[in-house]
A and B are shown apart, each in its own frame.
Chain A
């Protein structure tokens, strides 16, 4: 009877083993400088588009503001609202003393029973297989304290009886550890959102901590919210390195939707920079310089790298030791690595397996024959790298199956 619905974020769906299941509950928990609401919008939009209703309880902003905010991400909810597929339970405007336009309005939002009752009425009216979003649990805890945690079992029953899914939005202000632990214990899935900080906040990542009631080995995936577009998995940096004249610049350009190179003649003298977008993935590409006199820059570029493409000239085995040396200099040895055995179209090019042998590369490093000038195997190559970077995802599953 229960079914699974996708969130619309491919990697998240993989980690959740297919999406969010009805009859279950999910906690999206975020650090105070990271937003959870856009992810909830994305899931809501997906749910509605699949043909099932969404009930959105808000206690910290007006429903029309939410509609407007969602629109900025490129999703129009008006149609769904007009059709009655999307309903708001307005537990906010009561605080402001303004009259609400919504059918389900909590007149006194300081009364938890009234919130509860209004929500239940909406759930009964709207029917089964709905997604119930509670935005936010943290505000509820601020107003009512720990008693909210006691409600969890009751709400969970509602989810099961109505074959629905409840999504709690929770911001981790300094709540008591005990409360946080009890919240975490009482939900089926936990998606946590945290920033990557280096003084300022550079980026965010999400982690799935629990699926189907079982904790899983946490794996962190960097993401960005894009307007329009919503949550996009984002890789801060992929380094493209290799000896002089191996074809790095051509690879960067072949992969990039936009790219910049600083060159003198045919040789890159500063760096290549590109941006890569493919199947919902985004990455910044940094190409290094092959000549030895630029080695000091290598180490600088290596920082924050999540994955490496090593480009070698398949016709020039004497450059292979230099290729390995460059990995060490960039301090990226041990990171996910794919070797592009480039210039496969030229006479005398060694086959990928021969190159693996000569470079003494471990079995788990893919060596891919490429022709960068003709874009042959370039996309396939970076897909291999992405698989390695996100390999932990399937491993996490395997550990618990």
Chain B
């Protein structure tokens, strides 16, 4: 484990030496949230509601979405794509390490460093939204849901990123994935605003567990599934994507070795 801790530390150090990345991440989350705030204040003016949500609920939702994203959405698929096509992967696979654990330790290092940089802002957000956060389920449960969501996101993205072994250019594939997943995970609109059939179907698919489910749990809103049921579904999907990503990676590495000759 020592070696993975070293990767984690190196990634965190690299982020902390260039703090601008954390601020850019923060701006990336803040500006669209502010704009969404303006949009929904206009849409839901005069006490109007959509699926029982007024403009304040909507703003809380989008703040929650971006805070959860900050912990969950790590672009391991783009990173894999870069490493495979730049040839950097050859250096990684030559080392006596588990490739997936290498990327997980990088993700953890990246997240920890980013959290450290923007900790004052996170604390301010926490204080400002104190009343909206659900502490009834317990802080541990909230944190647990976010961690499992981060892992699920990682295994899912890792599986997609492995396509870079076969695709010359994965840019558009990743773009398609981002658009579809963002929509189905509730990034653009809360899933409660979706038609009934879509809502029912999404309960059993992995997407809403990237975003909508953890946000609603943290905000203490109804999700359509209980906390335990949701967590169990997340864990099942985690397991499925873990197996799938291992399989695709193994196949891909064989292909990659062939290409390297």
Do A and B come from the same complex?
no
Residues of B within 8 A of A (CB): none
